Structure 1
């Protein structure tokens, strides 16, 4: 349960020029800088509040709130910046609020925070980068270039689709290091080692990818369990429970309710270890782990561990299973609690073939939403991890594809293509080759 908010500081502001940066809870939570008269992006329904924002947290109207991190430029981006940050983000991520009253920014928090003034260059982005540098993390290793099945095929992807695009990479001479199979190969969320009817052999695909000189990548949502899965039916004791004894509800997606795997249960942990060791042994060495917010949801677990400790332990279990050499990309992850665990991290909501997100909820798929938060989190790149701005889509059917490609390129982060490659026109092929080629040259 959250604590009461206690005052941290009172700072005079210029209402006409001041800017406030809210850091959202997880990858998909809107994050960025606002003018004082702006209305920050908030969830538009209760499901997205659970799936894309900090669950159980409601922000009052007229209040700015960062989850573990908030920055204020009281006179504008050219002046000093106030940074208020979690004192120990790996164990506690307090909510930090800012409310303007009578020309004063009143800052408060519901946990222990550090508070300091930054006087260097770069405005809010410079101040946040300075905070990241103060953590003393080892620089992340460069990201490979990737082709991902998601934004063309979604959950309907087939094994033949993977093989077609694998051949097209050679035909089009595209500098792709990793071929990543996304959601759709598995029978159900939780049943990761049981194939859907559209796939014949996971190991066989990995072999085919590697025979062409590329690396095999694969997607999982390791902490999610579909209530209709074999895992849920056979091992109901492996699920995180609410205080009433019912499985914790992690929201709804794909038309399914979602439950949470309790990785503090020894048998559930052994199963998850088996999943990732099996995938690694089959030849996969690039892992996108998604919907990670679920592992940090509050609930009753087998061991008496708080949610953030359980989450970090679950990721550490995955890392141990895949080994240090494998590349680990997080997505939908509680960001501050993920520091030090990943090679790369999605730093925005999903992109989409369309520009505007559904209902103007900036946690939802859309190029506008992905650009807003991706720009707001640019300071994380090369400091906390390699930023993943989400995939390049360069096919003619994609709305404003030129603008989206320019955003992906400007981030300098992980470069991944997600088109049916044979559907690309001349511009699409050239842009994909240039963006991935530039990343490969780094």
Structure 2
């Protein structure tokens, strides 16, 4: 659908601000002054992986995905938003003299509020009605392999940190084995030769009374994977999910009966090992346009994919979204990453704050704090506070200020006295009241 004008508002040129809500977990989100250029993708690959690929933003235009709010600086905040989570228009604002003219490529709802915080909380509550659960029980803290071991993690690393968590009294209730255990992107049940035994690692975790978690990117298939090589007919035609892990990425067609059965089977196999927490990453891929076996629009196909994951994982499993389209995920995940990845560095190497950095994670995470316990349990990303982490005190303060998931991802042996004390203090359950 082409963009059509849906409203306009006069703004104070000095005090007016525009709030853009990003498409998915890693998409920058925040409030910007008139004339300020909001964050934009560094290149086409980043546009695909971290922004909304089908609607790149023209120069000089503000754009929100499902939500654009304008504070004129001298009156009520005006909000243009998606009518619900199943249809998510891109909403733009362009300057014409002293006015902002708002346009959208789909139906929108127009509301007003006294201030931006009220506008965002009201929008989140209204959008959740009929889709999100009414309450969000506390989620215990976790420890994750990713930011200490990256994709070279081993079974021994998991066992070593289990012992050190016990020794130092760090109360991580769940151990998340992140990327690096698998043979390839899409080959989730095939072990990477250097990892060791996933079954032994999971047994060791559950043997201590903790829950075991696993990472996947369920809608991706790397071109080097066995899945892609053996089942090219299971891929969404014409869909390119970008390039990562030194390979191009295809999209699993969850509307293909055999691909759907495969996806359910993967998660049933993990559940049979005793895994109950599922980190679902790079979920944006499931909502990419392309030729599918069944004629479903991308958002409907994405939601079906998450329903299949739930079928395999079981009704009591915890589904933890990341890199995920925000509105289309409401009601289908228990926990959601609401920011780009953290990194040991303060600034992203490319300057694009959708990329891993402390700055990007803090800015977008703070801007989306209002979603916690309204749509899901927020995940602000893991606490990392070993000495090499830049501005680690500021990152710890950001995590402490969030009501969401508390997770540590330092190798416990790498923590100094301050890092241990801070990690011990912050590993607490999530807050159950909305932020």
What range describes the TM-score normalised by the shorter chain of this pair? Answer: over 0.9
Provide the residue aligned with 1:165 in structure 2: 161
- Superposed, 1:131-146 pairs within 5 Å as 131-134=123-126, 135-136=128-129, 137=132, 138-146=134-142
1:184 equivalent among 146, 169, 180: 180
Name the TM-score, length of structure 1 as normaliser: 0.95
| Alpha-carbon displacement from aligned partner over 1:54-86 (angstroms, at most 9, x marks no partner) | 01222111110001111111116xx52111111
Cα distance in 1 for residues equivalent to 2:60 and 2:428: 46
Shift of 1:439: 4.5
- Superposed, 1:36-435 pairs within 5 Å as 36-75=34-73, 79-90=75-86, 92-119=87-114, 123-134=115-126, 135-136=128-129, 137=132, 138-242=134-238, 248-435=239-426
Shift of 1:438: 6.1
Aligned length: 429
Aligned-pair Cα RMSD in Å: 1.4
| Alpha-carbon displacement from aligned partner over 1:97-129 (angstroms, at most 9, x marks no partner) | 01121211111111000001113xxx3232111
| Contact persistence 1:262–1:302 (CA under 8 A) | yes
Instruction: Give the secondary structure class of the aligned counterpart of 2:428.
Output: helix
Change (3 A) 1:265 1:87: same
Cα distance in 2 for residues equivalent to 1:304 and 1:142: 39
Runs of at least 5 residues in structure 1 that lack an aligned partner in the other structure: 243-247
Cα distance in 2 for residues equivalent to 1:384 and 1:347: 11
Instruction: Give the secondary structure class of the aligned counterpart of 2:292.
Output: coil
Name the TM-score, length of structure 2 as normaliser: 0.96
| Alpha-carbon displacement from aligned partner over 1:263-300 (angstroms, at most 9, x marks no partner) | 11111111110100010110000110000000000000
Runs of at least 5 residues in structure 2 that lack an aligned partner in the other structure: none
Shift of 1:358: 2.0
Cα distance in 2 for residues equivalent to 1:390 and 1:75: 33
Provide the residue aligned with 1:245 in structure 2: none
Bigger shift: residues 345-354 or 57-66: 57-66
| Contact persistence 1:144–1:440 (CA under 8 A) | no
Cα distance in 2 for residues equivalent to 1:441 and 1:59: 36
2:20 corresponds to 1:22: yes
Cα distance in 2 for residues equivalent to 1:43 and 1:440: 33
| Contact persistence 1:224–1:261 (CA under 8 A) | yes
Shift of 1:198: 2.0
